Amino acid sequence: MSSVARRIGKAAAITLIAGTVGGAALLAAEAVVARSRRYAKPGLGLALRTTVGADNATPLRLVMLGDSAALGVGVDRVADTVGGQLATLLSGGESGKGGPVQAVALSSVGVAGSRSSDLATQVARCLLGDRPDVAVILVGGNDAITLRRPADAAAYLGAAVRRLREAGVEVVVGTCPDLGAARAIAPPLRQVVGFLGRRVARAQVRAVHAAGGAVVDLAAETGPVFRADPNTLSVDRYHPSADGYRVWAYALLPSVAHAAGVTPRLP
The residues that are catalytic are 68, 236, 239
73: left (phi over 0), alpha (psi -120 to 50) or beta: beta
- SS3 call for 50: strand
Q: Which residues contact 46 (CB under 8 A, 6 or more apart)?
A: 71, 72, 73, 78, 81, 108
CA distance 49 to 245: 19
DSSP designation for 99: S
DSSP designation for 235: T
Q: For 30-42, give one letter per residue: b (16+ CB within 10 A) or e.
A: bbeebbebebbeb
Question: Strands (DSSP E) along the chain, which ranges?
Answer: 50-53, 60-66, 94-95, 103-108, 134-138, 170-174, 214-216, 262-263
CA distance 163 to 191: 34
| Residues 189/16, Cβ–Cβ less than 8 Å | no
| Residues 101/91, Cβ–Cβ less than 8 Å | yes
